[in-house]
Amino acid sequence: MHCYLSELGNCSDKVTREHFISKNILEKIAAAQGEPNTKTHSLEVQNACDFFGGKPVTQIGINAFSAKVLCDNHNPALSAIDTAAGLAFETIERLTEDLIALDNGNELKSLYIASGLDIERWMVKVFCGLSAAGKIRGRSGNSLKKGAPQTTFLECLLNGAALPFPLGLYMHTYIGQLRSRSLSFSTIQLTDGSDDVGGLMLSLGLMNFVLVTSPDYGQVFRDDSWYYHQALSWNVRKGRSRISYLFTY
């Protein structure tokens, strides 16, 4: 395989193994699922029909979430994105703990803040890695053609620019949403019947993220539970308690 950032022209000769989903996040999910050794045991992945053989629920080792798609020059250059995402998901874990405490009758007030742009950049990195490794399948079940990332993706990854609307990060929240220890992710298909995808859907814990990667995606998310660049993701009130989670853009 080749480095998917090769068009930048400053690749090294060695292509290294890159985790599509950050290893630190995968290990946290494995620990939440009760795995005694997060470095060697597998994760239960739901809704993975577009990846890993097309099975709806499958057990996948943490190292199976990786492939040689970045050289050892560009791999560390993008490591800050993984670090930022890891910090954001740590706050999601703390939010989950507070919601459980609230349900158990405890009174508390908490406010968590994370960068929505960091999550968007991380989702773009996940999508680019899966695409470069040929892990994304179209409607036909065939792996999509590999290619260099779009210029807008490169700007997002390397310069921190937000993807232009309607591309970018969407949130999905709904009444009665429960804590989940599973990792769920899949592609969103284009609505024109073509064998292409419109983006990536990922659920980690309480948060459901959708990254729209194609302007041809016809779904406008008119449903009240879908939000583009949502700032206030959680705002739970119960008696004198309040728990809030904010994304900055």
Give domain status of residue 202, yes or no.
yes
Residue 206 has pLDDT above 80, yes or no: no
Domain membership of residue 186 (yes or no) is yes
Q: Is residue 42 part of a domain?
A: no
Taken in order 238, 116, 35, 186, the sign of the CA dihedral is: positive
Q: Is 6 within the bounds of a domain? A: no
Residue 69 falls inside a structural domain: no
Residue span of the structural domain in which 232 resides: 74-248
Strands 109-115 vs 241-248: parallel, antiparallel or unpaired: parallel
- Residue 54 belongs to some domain of the structure: no
pLDDT band at residue 173 using 50, 70 and 90 as cut-offs: low
Task: Say what the pTM is.
Answer: 0.85
Q: What's the number of domains the chain is made of?
A: 1
> What share of the chain in percent tops pLDDT 70?
73
pLDDT tens digits for range 174-192:
666 555 555 667 777 776 7
Q: Does the pLDDT of residue 243 top 50, yes or no? A: yes
Indicate the average pLDDT of the chain: 79
Of 106 and 142, the one with more pLDDT: 106
Q: How far apart are the first and last CA of the chain?
A: 35
Closest CA to 26 of 54, 62, 51, 77: 62
Is a pLDDT exceeding 90 seen at residue 225? no
Is 50 a member of any domain? no
Assess if residue 20 is contained within a domain: no
